[in-house]
Structure 1
Amino acid sequence: MEGFFNTLKSSGLVDAVKDMALDALHLNDDKKEENVDSKPRRHESSSSWGPTPQEAESGDSQPEWRRPRPARNDDDESSQSEWQRPRPSRNEDEESSGWRRPRPEREEERPSGGNWAQVVGDQEDGNQGGGRRQGNDGWQPAGRKQRPHRHPNDEQAEEYRHDASAQHYADEASANVEPTEEELADLSAACNRLWELDLNRLTPGQDYEIDCGDGKKLYNKEDMSGDSLFKFLDEGVFKRPTYARFYHLLDNYHADESKREELSATEEQEQVAFLEEISRTAPIKYLLRYLAEKRIVSGNMEEFKQTLRTLWFRFYNRGGTQNASSAFEHVFVGEIKRQGEVSGFHNWIQFYVEESKGTVDYQGYILPRRRGGDLPDSQSQLLTVQFDWNGVRKEQSSVMVGVSPEFELALYTLCFYVGEENNNVDLGPYRVNVKCYHMGEDRIGSVFPIALD
């Protein structure tokens, strides 16, 4: 018997058991320390042990069973046990339950898991006018085909280089733009009238075609769309004056929210020409008449164009940088915060342009909050989608597809001047909350639609 114990001792097994017991005691001490510091607990894996950082630096190795286990990544659903993973809500109206993930109403504050360093590396700032247009050699989503990119023709682009006062514009819209008493008393009725006056809105299946793919919950990180959102856009779309001029505004900005914006003479000219073009359309004419009836602006269109230019294009501070943003850039173009998060970016034309270049990766639509809600299809013109932009995630963004630039700008301006933070309105067949955040008294911080399903 004595020989048996001597054999065990010489094999090192006794010391091994002793060391394991000491390791367990130290592990308990570490857990107590985490509780004192209010740090989140890490759930340890049962495999993939490795050397400690000290061992890695020193080059010392230890037996496999003595190496500490790495902390489990709590953000990785595939590494969580079944009881840890978010469970689908049985009753979407009871989103306050502890194990349910609430769907945030303010889209601008969702975190992203994108690689901001890669975005900075892909920036190309050498284009004329100081814009932030990325080249096609930048970030590309894996497995996606780059689609043909429709854009204004060369003749239009050449004309837009002239002075704004020397350019050609469309004829004035001939439509009844006088607001009714009901519309003046009811913001929803006024917004619905704007929808009816959007004579330039595109027709699904005729002017464009989309493929919504499959739906998902916010916590689902899987790509639920095997292809792009936009399958087709008619080449005649960017022959329409307001669409063409809007297109030329999109490359005038840095995606990086921390970079100061500079306005070149060409970009200033593009702003003036865009406002001149949309001032001839029915939605903007109705907007002017409505705000004049409310005694918010005068009835002079020239003064109103300057008001719109100040409201939408004046630079202001955002993200700690002076003159780093504007309402137009944030809402229609989109920005990427320093911590790697897409904010803004609520326009379908910008989505189409970036997707056709390969810098937007559509991940699928967000399922309605309530079971039984209508699912979007190829005819839908209001979508809540998830996508990556230059590798940075936008958890959810509501987009009105096919609407004209003048309609969106008129709708958001109306809600800014007349509405509240939450504006539940009817837009044709859609019930929408136009969410509007003020920055100070006279600036738009953000404004975007939320589908009320």
Structure 2
Amino acid sequence: MLDRWAMWLCIFVLSLCYHHGNAVVRALDLTDAEIKDLAQKMRDADYDRPKFDTEFLVNFHDYKNKSINYASKPLFNLTQPSLLERPVYKALLDLTEGFFTPRVGIAEMSSEKKDQAQLAFINNVTNSSPFMQLYNVLREKNHTFATGNATLSKSLTDLWFGMFSRSQVLDSSTFEHVFLGEIKKGQVIGMHNWVVMNKYENNETDINKTLHYRGYIEKRADIIMGANFLWGRRKKPYGSFFIGTSPAFDFSLFTMCILARRDEKCEVIIDECPVSVVSRAMQWNGTSVISTVFPIPGNSSWRCDANFERRKMLAASLRPPILFHEFA
């Protein structure tokens, strides 16, 4: 029998870890200040994100009006579509090609091609500059994820692609929910990535998978927004997502917040704009899995607005004014 001190030691050790699927994941010990610092470093290292004013335009339109079914123009306008051919974008979009079934309650299928596509995505994000910021911290903290490339790849694959059940069968994963979106009880759940949403907006082959933007609920500069939209005929009354970030940034930031602030708010500041990244855990088959992780716009801030104005002025000074175009 354990003595009292041994028992308390066990409790302390378990408090630093959590089970995910069949694995035990150690929490990443970061202060609030360290989290904010790392998040901004990821932002600064996000070299694959498009330039907001020239390569990437956002048609915000008006605040969501219940009488309007669709906005007059798509939400996103990529003036440089070649951006989507960059490896990390292509790796994400390849995973939208029929590997996952969005409807909850239908078992997901496994295949060698699916495993290869998932591995390609993991390899691309872990080789990105935003993720290297996280990896450096993982090494400094002697986190188990950073004990080798094979361990890192398997740990992230288990964390993001490990399957669990939302409705009696193995029908979901953290990745599918967060990046691709799912359908449950006739409504859209998840779907917190603008790159995938942009693809759905431009889908002309399957009306049931075409995204229709209806208007914004809230927005913060060129960083983040909350919107109302339809996916086919299914509603998403409110969905929040980063604007114009690379898939590697989203993945890296979400992973940091899952590890450091699991099942609670992970408060960050991106270019002076407050953002809360929320992760939620659920119990499945006796273990804890990440049901979702998503960003929420923080309080409106004059620093956020001022920083955005400075960046717009700098961009305008570097090119002919006629090229600058932003939709209100």
TM-score, normalised to structure 2, is 0.74
1:331 and 2:173 are equivalent in the alignment: no
Contact 1:332 1:350 in 2 (8 A): yes
Deviation at 1:307, TM superposition (A): 0.6
Contact 2:38 2:133 in 1 (8 A): no
- For 2:239, the equivalent position in structure 1 comes to 397
Q: Distance in 2 between matches of 1:301 and 1:431?
A: 33
Contact 2:224 2:243 in 1 (8 A): yes
Query: CA, structure 1 residues 407+447, in 2 after alignment: closer, same or farther (shift >3 Å)?
Result: same
- Between Structure 1 and Structure 2, the one with more helix by share is 2
**1:41-440 alignment runs, 5 A limit:** 186-216=34-64, 220=66, 222-223=68-69, 225-251=71-97, 252-297=99-144, 298-318=146-166, 320-337=167-184, 339-358=185-204, 359-367=210-218, 380-420=222-262, 421-440=264-283
Aligned amino acid, residue 209 of structure 1: L
Query: Any idea what the Cα deviations from partners look like across 1:129-184, whole Å, max 9, x if unmatched?
Result: xxxxxxxxxxxxxxxxxxxxxxxxxxxxxxxxxxxxxxxxxxxxxxxxxxxx9979
Q: Secondary structure in 2 aligned to 1:332? A: helix
Aligned amino acid, residue 316 of structure 1: F
Query: Any idea what the Cα deviations from partners look like across 1:161-216, whole Å, max 9, x if unmatched?
Result: xxxxxxxxxxxxxxxxxxxx997952122212211121211111322222111013
Give every structure 1 segment of 4 or more consecutive aligned residues whose post-TM-superposition deviation is greater than 4 Å. 181-185
Q: Distance in 2 between matches of 1:292 and 1:407?
A: 19
Deviation at 1:347, TM superposition (A): 0.4
Q: Over aligned residues, Cα RMSD in angstroms?
A: 2.2
Q: Distance in 1 between matches of 2:30 and 2:190?
A: 32
Deviation at 1:249, TM superposition (A): 0.8
Aligned amino acid, residue 400 of structure 1: F
Q: Distance in 2 between matches of 1:189 and 1:245?
A: 28
Unaligned runs of 5+ in 2: 1-28, 205-209, 300-328
Q: Distance in 2 between matches of 1:195 and 1:442?
A: 29
Aligned amino acid, residue 245 of structure 1: A
Contact 1:198 1:404 in 2 (8 A): yes
State which drifts further: 225-234 or 190-199. 225-234
Q: Distance in 1 between matches of 2:135 and 2:77?
A: 36
Q: Distance in 1 between matches of 2:272 and 2:49?
A: 14
Q: Secondary structure in 2 aligned to 1:192? A: helix
Q: Secondary structure in 2 aligned to 1:399? A: strand
Q: Secondary structure in 1 aligned to 2:103? A: coil
Q: Secondary structure in 1 aligned to 2:101? A: coil
TM-score, normalised to structure 1, is 0.54
**Rg larger in 1 or in 2?**
1
Aligned amino acid, residue 309 of structure 1: T
Aligned length: 260
Contact 1:182 1:189 in 2 (8 A): no
Q: Distance in 1 between matches of 2:265 and 2:276?
A: 6
Query: CA, structure 1 residues 317+233, in 2 after alignment: closer, same or farther (shift >3 Å)?
Result: farther
Unaligned runs of 5+ in 1: 1-180, 368-374
Deviation at 1:342, TM superposition (A): 0.8
